[in-house]
Amino acid sequence: MAGPILTPKALARHPKPTKTYTAAYDRPMSSGPASERGTALPRARGHVLVVDDHEALADNLREIILEEGSIDVTVRGSGEAALAFARNHGFDVAIVDVKLPDTSGVELLPRLREVVPDAEIILITGFATIDAAIAALRGGAFALLLKSFRPEELKSTVEQAMVKVALRRERDWLERRYRALVEVADVIVLGIDRRGEVVLANPKFTALTGVPPTTARGESVERWIGERDRAPFLAALDDVAARGQPRELEASLISDGASRVIRWHLSAEHEGLIFAIGVDVTERRALERRAANAEALSTMGTLALGLAHEIRNPLNAAVLQMHLLGKQVEREVASDTARASMRDRVQIVVGEIKRLGRLLTEFLELARPRGLARERVAIGEVIDAVIELHAAEASQRGVTAERLDQGVVPPVLGDREKLRQVFVNLFVNALDATASGGTVRITTEQLGDKVMVDMSDDGCGIAEADLSRLFDPFFTTKPGGTGLGLSIVRKILEQHGGALSVRSRVGEGTTVRVELPVAPPDSATMTPP
Ligand code: ADP
């Protein structure tokens, strides 16, 4: 009889030789019917199904196999009975008589295979012809045994079949595990070949980019790396390929209209592939940036509060002086052209001083801690009022404002005036971005316990490089801008337990999404402290 066959793993666990197909694996030895595979309860004992209508012989077979001590045996007398058993319980190895009352073993073989694809089947026959042997092997039988076999021969064949089944299941199991690791991991996994083309992409990549793995395959990876980071990313890939050393770097991933900051680990090359494992650190980086901004703001805020009057008084005086100067010019300058030119200059200076005044007001707004009123606010009404307030400006610019309520939108709990300020800022930004003929669409909708307001414009959009800086105080691309609008908006929303997100595509437009919690049904109204 063949000695026990051991895998290294089994040896490690069982210093004394033990049969691998018994308790050596900590996962199902017997798999159930195909539909249940992978969820079957672990069964350490092997299971042999004997299909033979000859009772005495079947008993004989069972006795021999049971001598193993670690194998259960079930006997069925017909093809149908065997199939029924296989469907309900599965098996590891079947020993099937070629001659059965309702079918032949050769015909039964593929049907059993279908039910339990990872099991092995041994055919037995009383008279082996070459044809029978060929048919058995074609059908995928593990072995064909003549009924004159010796018990050792049977035991050894069963044992080898068991080992084969166990190894196959271990391989499948490992493969499933590895696949699950790649599929469910909350990190991006990309397999990249020497030409920089994507060979493998996992669902996290799809979740972030909206690109299914099949579409990504064969495409150059640089397509999804942000423009500024493309060259360093490709250089890092080259470096990994050349030196065989893993690398780490941060590079953005272009996702559906937005950009995510990804910390990449580039693995050393393995069988022609470099694995790029990416962790999305967008939120972490944003938090760090906000912490830094908040610190800067609070320092500057104290300073600004102290200086506010000092600055505002001279500014007011300057406006007054300019006003007087303007009058004097009208009165005393004789030449028309000289007067017009001086008037223009005076207006420019007044405009700049006003801008400084606005900057100061907005900055103080950001820096000064103030309590919130809490009342039930119908957000639609606030937005309607904002649109109405800017209707003249919008029509002057040739921009259409549309509003859409998706279903019934419940009230939120908040400070009406501050919320108005939020939508004024966002609406003015949208107007500024939109060319004549364009549209600003404001949609409100309840999603779970949140009210969502989407402010969408089909304007110029925001460059990818600017997206991460939008909320930085003083970041502006407008000649007269203060760059404080979005910082204020975000601060107000945070005070309301809400949030703000921006999606944009250059040349296509921008959607700013405001999220506010729905007011609890019995929420009381409070006034600010
Ligand atoms: P400001 O409007 O004073 O510039 P904000 O903080 O409100 O300050 O906006 C900062 C910058 O964000 C703007 O200068 C603009 O470049 C960009 N921005 C904001 N909203 C939009 C939008 N809807 N479309 C395009 N760019 C926008």
The DSSP line for 96-108 is: EESB-SSSBHHHH
pLDDT at 7: 31
Q: 191 vs 219, 265, 272, 512, CA distance in Å? A: 12, 12, 10, 34
State pLDDT tens for residues 53-110: 998 889 989 999 888 778 899 999 999 999 999 999 999 999 999 889 999 898 999 9
Domain 8-181 in CATH 3.30.420.40? no
* Res. 474 pLDDT band, cuts 50 70 90: confident
Q: Token digits for 491?
A: 């601060």
Mean pLDDT rounded to a whole number for the chain: 84
Residue type, 216: A
Asked whether the beta carbons of 515 and 498 are under 8 A apart, the reply is: yes
Treating both helix axes as pointing N-terminal to C-terminal, what angle do 336-367 and 282-332 enclose, rounded to 10 degrees? Answer: 150
CA of 429 from ligand 1 middle (Å) equals 5
With vertex at residue 386, the alpha carbon angle to CA 416 and CA 408, rounded to the nearest 5 degrees, is 70
Report the residue among 356, 360, 429 best suited for mutation to probe ligand 1: largest number of ligand atoms under 8 A from its CB. 429
Q: 138 vs 113, 252, 443, CA distance in Å? A: 13, 54, 65
Distance CA 148, CA 154 (A): 10
Backbone conformation region of residue 75, classed left if phi is above 0, alpha if psi is from -120 to 50, else beta? beta
Choose the CATH number for 375-517 among 2.60.40.2300, 3.40.190.10, 3.40.109.10, 3.30.565.10: 3.30.565.10
DSSP letter string, 21-66:
TTTT-SS-SS--SGGGTTTSPP--SEEEEEE-S-HHHHHHHHHHHH
The CATH H-level (homologous superfamily) assignment of domain 185-280 is PAS domain (3.30.450.20)
Is the CB of residue 485 below 6 angstroms from any atom belonging to ligand 1? yes
Distance CA 253, CA 188 (A): 10
Asked whether the beta carbons of 295 and 474 are under 8 A apart, the reply is: no
Is the CB of residue 508 below 6 angstroms from any atom belonging to ligand 1? no
Is the CB of residue 159 below 6 angstroms from any atom belonging to ligand 1? no
Count of alpha carbons within 13 angstroms of residue 472, beta-carbon side: 14
The mean-pLDDT minimum among 65-79, 136-150, 440-454 falls in 136-150
Q: Per-domain residue ranges for the chain?
A: 8-181, 185-280, 285-367, 375-517
| 8-state DSSP, 195 | T
pLDDT at 300: 67
CA of 512 from ligand 1 middle (Å) equals 11
* Res. 529 pLDDT band, cuts 50 70 90: very low
Q: What is the pTM of this model?
A: 0.48
Closest Cα to residue 108, out of 130, 124, 128, 126? 124
State pLDDT tens for residues 296-341: 766 666 666 667 767 777 888 888 889 999 999 999 999 999 999 9
Is the CB of residue 198 below 6 angstroms from any atom belonging to ligand 1? no
Backbone conformation region of residue 233, classed left if phi is above 0, alpha if psi is from -120 to 50, else beta? alpha
Is the CB of residue 510 below 6 angstroms from any atom belonging to ligand 1? yes
State pLDDT tens for residues 167-191: 998 888 888 888 888 777 789 999 9
The ligand 1 atom at the shortest distance from the C-alpha of residue 486 is 6
Is the CB of residue 482 below 6 angstroms from any atom belonging to ligand 1? yes
Asked whether the beta carbons of 413 and 399 are under 8 A apart, the reply is: no
Asked whether the beta carbons of 128 and 146 are under 8 A apart, the reply is: yes
Asked whether the beta carbons of 159 and 3 are under 8 A apart, the reply is: no
Domains 8-181 and 185-280 share a fold: no
| Section 513-527 average pLDDT | 78
SS3 annotation, 139-162: CCCCEEEECCCCHHHHHHHHHHHH
Distance CA 101, CA 103 (A): 6
